[in-house]
Amino acid sequence: MTAKKTISGARIFDGIDWHDGAALVIEAGHVKAIAPAGSVPAGGETIDARGLLLVPGFIDLQVNGGGGALLNEKPSLESIRQICAAHAQFGTTALLPTLITDTRAVRTAAIAAGIEAKAAAVPGFLGLHLEGPHLSVARKGAHDPALIRPMGDDDLAEILACAKALSRLMLTVAPENATKEQVRALADAGVVVSLGHTDVDYDTACAYAKAGARTVTHLFNAMSGLGHREPGVVGAALSTGTLHAGMIADGFHVHPASMGIALRGKKGPGQIFLVTDAMSPIGTDQTSFFLNGREILRQGGRLTLADGTLAGADIDMLSSVRFVHQKLGLPIEEAVRMASGYPADAMGIASHKGRLLPGTDADFVLLTPELAMKSTWIGGETVFAA
């Protein structure tokens, strides 16, 4: 690793403000400064990025697979490497490989693989997201109902041990199958508890937020909707300032009009952030794959079971950024925040990721002004170049 690097000539967005006529100075994998181009001390390697945009690297908190690998089908270190490398092609510099509802044995294997990935310092690996199995059958989506079950004491113990070993863990649960006491214990241990695949009412969702739930999984999808007399989980997500919420911006999971309404209606400081919910086909030409023994079809930008049920998403993070910028009309800086700063806030890692401030990790993406990919950098090193 070169001790010092300078990225010059790009228009730099640090996650808060734009910097023109400046250079990004990197030392030992961290941001040293964003300095006027003419005042950078000599020395180290200089990279010419004239005409490009330099933005914080994207953070994806819900990634089932990529590059042909699916964590549920092969819960291994190799799969995690494959998934992280596939998403780096689209600007993702940190992600949570996500295990959806499966058997106890598969979950145990996925946790072991995550611990291996942390020890191996796999570029882009942030931690794990366990989406289930403690969900609601009524809002199962593509999750196998035969594998959904309540959280027991042994489940709680395994998840707490995983949180201690990994440091970064997200867990999606439904109040139907997890108690407030369990949520409180998980939150106290540093687990980011997310409410999802649940049919509970507004008051119950708010009570679980008070117990320690921090986020909501894929807003609008697989949850009780916003009604005029019963606001549901969607209403709780939007009106509770402590809750952050992930959203899939592919135009299939949520109508663009609903996305805009949610963005305008979200009470802070919690924000809506982008997730891909990507499956194994990302970065490949796969037309189908299997999940829990069921074939998932890839057609027209959608992934579905044979009955038409959506089963994850066929979108990458850069395409998600483009979608909310071009289809919703969000300023590019806000679209980037939804993919970087806001998920960092949701995970509690904003001190070192999601923004390019002195001391933070030098994770960033170089794009053309038309938002085409040029290169992805993690810790000041190139991990993908178009």
CB atoms within 10 A of CB 348: 11
Q: How far apart are CA 71 and CA 19, in angstroms?
A: 39
Q: What angle do CA 221, 227, 228 make, to 5 degrees?
A: 160
Q: How far apart are CA 60 and CA 316, in angstroms?
A: 9
**CA dihedral in degrees (247, 252, 253, 258; nearest 10)?**
70
User: Among residues 277, 316, 361, 363, which one is catalytic?
Assistant: 277
Active site residue 277: yes
Strands 192-195 and 169-173: parallel
The catalytic residues are: 277
